[in-house]
Each structure stands twice: as structure tokens, then as C-alpha cells.
């Protein structure tokens, strides 16, 4: 989502590194580059103005001007202020002292609110909680069916609100809380009505639900792809209902990212999670400092390590590392690594977490079609164990058989083998061996 903004800010950093010292003149030029980058990314103009003022004040301070590396100091300031715009530090979910903790999700129709309820329930289960899902929408019965389907796919409990129950909302909601308390459900995650735009009828319904349930978290679910519309909607919900936090959906999209950079400053509410894909496991804790580093091209190695620890088979990873050191990496190992990589999510997203400097500079900018990974896996699975262990036996007739078995053209089989050969050649290089030795 932040590719365009990242590119602009990288040019600014390169410009500053080329300057011997920080002056009002070159700082003014750098701030102009930042301002244009942010405005093109659809960041709220008030946020841009305040951001620029804070950087100017700090960058032209005595400590920076007299430092041995003023450009690095300014880049550090930009990173810190960018993290501050995004919320500063992680803000954890609030849980009630006496269960059930009630999370009420609000937002416009089409923002991904119902799916986010399922994602959030899956996430809290992962930290040892026992969630219950319920939809309370007086206008759209299909929303309840959708949420119950999501709950079933996750093997999680849901609570059905019938039309007769919702006809007396006060009693229905009180019975819901009693049901959750008696069965030790915590948290209770409540999906609510949405509209295509904010209106009085929607707000009155949400106020009714909020007043009866008294939730510990009123979470605004905003579509990051809608830019400033998401920011203005969040402000409207906060002014009328009282929002405690934000979940941004579709942060893996190709919009300009202005919503993510504006919403905390405009609403004063923290972004706690980000939806990074359609599947129910694609919800991530939002780390403002890590996101700032990614936007500035510094990577997000901590998140990458956490993903690997959560999804990867550590014993298999260690065995792969040993094979790499002994130069025994086969096509079977390659296939296993593709399977592991798929578990960690989009390959493009993984590469986006790498620093755009040093040895990884070229790799982090590679654009990967994730379908190609699936195609390669199909090709490798169509080979016999003997072929994966010894690619030298893959003559023309074998390659044709593999192509037919995987449903891919022969030239893709040849392409995979060529890339594997290039990988093996790279592994024999001294720089790669040195890097592996440091990882022991």
C-alpha cells in the first residue's frame, strides 16, 4: 500500500545523506519532498502541516546541527515522528476485569466488518480466550447468517438472534450478556449494522446497542482503500458513538495509504489491528514503529521473525540451513520451503518486510506474482522423489510428463529448473556462506 510514499521518502533520505550538514535551505528542500509525498498519498493536510512543523523544529535544533551525522539524526527524527502519527506505541486490546469483555464493532457497509469479527475471534482464541460471536443488525438478516457461517468455519460458537428477539432489543441484548456470562465466554464480539454512509437511523441503533451492552471496546472498522473517506467516517462514528480503537482493513491493497497515516491524528484513537488479506488468519497487530520503518524502507525484520516463529517448522528450517551449508539443497527441499513460505502469507508481503538496503536491496523490491509460487509447487509435486533428489535426470520426455501432470507449460518447468540452478550457484558463493556461518 505504501510503495509510492516509500519511494518518495527514500529519495528524500538519499538527498539528505548527500548533504554534508543540515541547513535551513536543504532542510526546507527535504521538508518540501516530505510534504509532496504525504499529500500525494492522500494524507490529511492538517496532519501533514503538523508533521512538517515538528520535524522542522527538531531538525534545526542545536543537537542535530552539532552532531557528527546530522543527516542520520534527521532521518531518525522523521522515523520517530512518522511512528507518532501512526500511534506511537502498540495499544493492546482492553479486557474487562469481570467477564465477559464486550467488543462492539462498528463501521460502514462494505468495510469488511463482519469478516473482521471472525478474524478478531480467531486472534483472541490464539491468546487463550473463549470468544462468542453474535450479529445484531435490525435491518440485514443476511449479516447474521454470514457471521454464523464464519464462526462455523473457525469452529467457534455463535449466538443466533431471531427476528422475534430483535423486536425487543433491550431484552435480547441483556439475555445475550447473561448467556455469555453463564457459559464463561470472553470476549463477546458483537457485529453491528452498517450503511453505505453515516445517517441518524444507524447512529440511533448503534447508541442503543452501546448503552445496553456497555462495551469495553467500541472498534471502528475502516476500509484503508477508501482513503480520507475512512478518516471522516471514523471521526463521525467517534463523535456520535464514542470509538475506543480502530481496525484498518485491506491494508494489503494498492491504495495510497493516507487513511492509515491520518486516522490516529484525526480521531485520537489508536489503530490496534490491520487486515492484510481476505482469509480469516490475515489479521495482524498494528505496530506503529514497525510500520514507520517499513514506510521508510528500513524493513520490519521483527514482524518477519514473528511470522516465521508462528508458522514455520523450526526443525525443518534448521535442517534446511544445514543442507545449505553443505550445498545439499535439493528440489525436494525447495518444494518444502515453498510450502513453508505459503503458510507465512503473500510472498510480496514477506519481501516488503526486508530492508531496502545492503545485500537485500534488490530482493526487497522484487515484485512476485503469488500464483507463480502455486505453479512452482504444482510442478515440483508432479516430479518423482528421484527427480527431485537428482534434477540431472530430467530429460525432455520427463519434463513433458511433469508439465502435463502439473497443468503448466513446459517452459515453466524449464524456468523453475533454471531458477533452482541459479539459486544453487548463489549458495556456492563466498558471501552467502559467510552469512550462513554468522547464523550458526
Interval 51-72: pLDDT, tens: 888 888 887 776 665 654 666 7
What mean pLDDT comes out for the span 355-369? 47
Q: Is the pLDDT of residue 435 over 50?
A: no
Confidence grade of residue 109 (pLDDT, cut at 50, 70, 90): confident
Predicted local confidence at residue 100, as pLDDT: 94
229-238, 268-277, 306-315 — which one is most confidently predicted on average?
A: 268-277
Confidence grade of residue 394 (pLDDT, cut at 50, 70, 90): very high
Q: What is the pLDDT of residues 2-36, one digit of tens each?
A: 666 777 777 777 777 776 677 778 788 888 888 88
Predicted local confidence at residue 361, as pLDDT: 44
The better pLDDT of the pair 318, 259 is held by 259
Phi-psi region of 54 (alpha: psi -120 to 50; beta: other; left: phi over 0): alpha
16-30, 204-218, 230-244 — which one is most confidently predicted on average?
A: 204-218
For cell 502498540, what's the residue? 90
Predicted local confidence at residue 277, as pLDDT: 83
What mean pLDDT comes out for the span 200-206? 86
Q: What is the mean pLDDT of the chain?
A: 79
346 Cβ partners below 8 Å, 6+ apart? 252, 276, 277, 370
Predicted local confidence at residue 411, as pLDDT: 93
Sign for the CA dihedral angle at 405, 408, 411, 417 comes to negative
Predicted local confidence at residue 357, as pLDDT: 44
Nearest to 194 by CA among 265, 143, 150: 143
99 Cβ partners below 8 Å, 6+ apart? 180, 181, 184, 185, 186, 187
The share of the chain scoring above pLDDT 70, in percent, equals 77
What mean pLDDT comes out for the span 207-222? 93
Q: Domains in the chain, ordered, with CATH?
A: 3-85 (1.20.120.140), 102-298 (3.40.50.300), 302-438 (1.10.260.30)
Q: Is the pLDDT of residue 185 over 90?
A: yes
The better pLDDT of the pair 370, 98 is held by 98
Q: Is 384 exposed, middle or buried (0-12, 13-18, 19+ CB in 10 A)?
A: exposed
Distance CA 269, CA 286 (A): 13
Predicted local confidence at residue 321, as pLDDT: 54
Long-range contacts of 57-60 (CB under 8 A, 24+ apart): 59/22, 59/27, 60/22, 60/24, 60/27
The share of the chain scoring above pLDDT 90, in percent, equals 29
Q: Has this prediction a pTM greater than 0.95?
A: no
Predicted local confidence at residue 364, as pLDDT: 44
Predicted local confidence at residue 432, as pLDDT: 44
The better pLDDT of the pair 1, 389 is held by 389
Assess contact for 272 and 219: CB atoms under 8 A.
yes
Distance CA 113, CA 431 (A): 47
Predicted local confidence at residue 307, as pLDDT: 55
Confidence grade of residue 276 (pLDDT, cut at 50, 70, 90): confident
Predicted local confidence at residue 366, as pLDDT: 45
What cell was used for 87? 500511534
Predicted local confidence at residue 349, as pLDDT: 60
Confidence grade of residue 387 (pLDDT, cut at 50, 70, 90): very high
Distance CA 163, CA 140 (A): 11
Confidence grade of residue 300 (pLDDT, cut at 50, 70, 90): very low
Predicted local confidence at residue 225, as pLDDT: 78
Predicted local confidence at residue 150, as pLDDT: 95
Amino acid at each position: 500500500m505504501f510503495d509510492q510514499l516509500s519511494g518518495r521518502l527514500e529519495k528524500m533520505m538519499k538527498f539528505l545523506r548527500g548533504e554534508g550538514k543540515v541547513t535551513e535551505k536543504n532542510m526546507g528542500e527535504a521538508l518540501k519532498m516530505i510534504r509532496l509525498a504525504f499529500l500525494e498519498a492522500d494524507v490529511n493536510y492538517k496532519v501533514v502541516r503538523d508533521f512538517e512543523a515538528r520535524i522542522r523544529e527538531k531538525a534545526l535544533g542545536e543537537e542535530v546541527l552539532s552532531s557528527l551525522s546530522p543527516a542520520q539524526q534527521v532521518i531518525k527524527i522523521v522515523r520517530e515522528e512518522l511512528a507518532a502519527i501512526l500511534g506511537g506505541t502498540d495499544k493492546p486490546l482492553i479486557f474487562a476485569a469481570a467477564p465477559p469483555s464486550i467488543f462492539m464493532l462498528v463501521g460502514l457497509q462494505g468495510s469488511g466488518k463482519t469478516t473482521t469479527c471472525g478474524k478478531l475471534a480467531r486472534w483472541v482464541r490464539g491468546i487463550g480466550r473463549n470468544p462468542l460471536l453474535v450479529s445484531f443488525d435490525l435491518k440485514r438478516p443476511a449479516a447474521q447468517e454470514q457471521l454464523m457461517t464464519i464462526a462455523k468455519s473457525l469452529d467457534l460458537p455463535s449466538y443466533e438472534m431471531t427476528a422475534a428477539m430483535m423486536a425487543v432489543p433491550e431484552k435480547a441484548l441483556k439475555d445475550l450478556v447473561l448467556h455469555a456470562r453463564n457459559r464463561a465466554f470472553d470476549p463477546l464480539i458483537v457485529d453491528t449494522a452498517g450503511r453505505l454512509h453515516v445517517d441518524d437511523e444507524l447512529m440511533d441503533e448503534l447508541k442503543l446497542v452501546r448503552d445496553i451492552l456497555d462495551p469495553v471496546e467500541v472498534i471502528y472498522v475502516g476500509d484503508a482503500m477508501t482513503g480520507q473517506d475512512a478518516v471522516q467516517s471514523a471521526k463521525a462514528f467517534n463523535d456520535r458513538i464514542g470509538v475506543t480503537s480502530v481496525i484498518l482493513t485491506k491494508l494489503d491493497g494498492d491504495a495510497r495509504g493516507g487513511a492509515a497515516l491520518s486516522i490516529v491524528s484525526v480521531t485520537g484513537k489508536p489503530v490496534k489491528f490491520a487486515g492484510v488479506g481476505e482469509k480469516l488468519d490475515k489479521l495482524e497487530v498494528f505496530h506503529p514503529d514497525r510500520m514507520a520503518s517499513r514506510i521508510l524502507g528500513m524493513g520490519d525484520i521483527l514482524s518477519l521473525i514473528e511470522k516465521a516463529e508462528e508458522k514455520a517448522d523450526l526443525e525443518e528450517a534448521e535442517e534446511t540451513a544445514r543442507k545449505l551449508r553443505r550445498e545439499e539443497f535439493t528440489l525436494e527441499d525447495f518444494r518444502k520451503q515453498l510450502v513453508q513460505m505459503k503458510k507465512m502469507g503473500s510472498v510480496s508481503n514477506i519481501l516488503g518486510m526486508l530492508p531496502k538496503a545492503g545485500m537485500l536491496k534488490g530482493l526487497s523490491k522484487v515484485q512476485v506474482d503469488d500464483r507463480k509460487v502455486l505453479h512452482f509447487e504444482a510442478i515440483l509435486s508432479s516430479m518423482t522423489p528421484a527427480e527431485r533428489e537428482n534434477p540431472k535426470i530430467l530429460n525432455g520426455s520427463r519434463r513433458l510428463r511433469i508439465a502435463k501432470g502439473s497443468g503448466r507449460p513446459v517452459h515453466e518447468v524449464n524456468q523453475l529448473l533454471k531458477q533452482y540452478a541459479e539459486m544453487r550457484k548463489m549458495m556456492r558463493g563466498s558471501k552467502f556462506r559467510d552469512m550462513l556461518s554468522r547464523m550458526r
